[in-house]
Copies of this chain bind each other. A is one copy, B any other.
Amino acid sequence: MAEQQQKKKQLHLGAFMRPVSLHTGAWRYPGAYPDANFNFQHIKSFAQKLEAAKFDAFFMADHLAVLNMPVEALRRSHTVTSFEPFTLLSSLAAVTDRIGLVATASTTYDEPYHIARRFASLDHLSGGRAGWNIVTTANPDSARNFGKDEHKEHGERYARAREFYDVVTGLWDSFADDAFIRDVESGIFFDPAKMHVLDHHGAELHVRGPLNIARPPQGWPVIVQAGQSEPGRQLAAETAEVVFCAPRTLEAGKEFFKDVKGRLAAVGRDRDDMKLLPAAFIVIGDTVEEAQAKRLKLDSLVHYESSIASLSIALGHDASTLDPDGPLPTDLPETNASKSGREGVLKLAATEGLTVRQLAQRYGGYSGLAFVGTVETVADEMEQWIVQEGSDGFNVVFPFLPQGLDDVAEHLIPELQRRGLFRQDYEGTTLRDHLGLKRPSNKFFS
Interface residues of A (CB under 8 A from B): 25, 27-28, 34-35, 38, 40, 44, 63-67, 71, 74-78, 80-84, 86-88, 90-95, 109-111, 113-114, 117-118, 120-122, 124-125, 141, 144-148, 175, 180, 182, 184, 187-192, 205-210, 212-214, 301, 303
Contact = CB atoms under 8 A, between A and B. Distances in A.
A190 B71 CA distance: 10
Contacts of A120: 84
A188 to B, nearest CB: 6
Contacts of A208: 65, 141, 144-145
Given A188-B76, A191-B75, A84 B118 contact: yes
A27 B189 contact: yes
Q: How many copies does the complex hold?
A: 2
Given A80-B190, A84-B117, A109-B111, A145 B207 contact: yes
B113 A146 contact: yes
Contacts of A147: 111, 205-207
Leading 6 A-B pairs by shortest Cβ distance: A90-B90, A84-B121, A144-B208, A94-B94, A87-B121, A34-B182
A377 B210 CA distance: 44
Given A27-B189, A75-B190, A207-B147, A214 B90 contact: no
Contacts of A91: 90-91, 93-94, 125
B192 A74 contact: yes
Contacts of A187: 25, 28, 76, 301, 303
Nearest to A72: B192
B121 A83 contact: yes
A184 B124 contact: no
A146 B117 CA distance: 13
Contacts of A35: 180, 182
Given A75-B188, A144-B208, 4 more contacts: A76-B188, A77-B189, A94-B94, A145-B207
B90 A88 contact: yes
B82 A212 contact: yes
A40 B125 contact: yes
Contacts of A40: 94, 124-125
A113 B66 CA distance: 12
A118 B87 contact: yes
Given A86-B86, A95-B95, A144-B206, A81 B180 contact: yes
A37 to B, nearest CB: 9
Contacts of A144: 206-208
Contacts of A38: 124, 213-214
A28 B187 CA distance: 7
A308 to B, nearest CB: 15
A136 to B, nearest CB: 16
Given A80-B190, A94-B94, A182 B145 contact: no
A91 B35 CA distance: 22
A80 B122 contact: no
B121 A114 contact: no
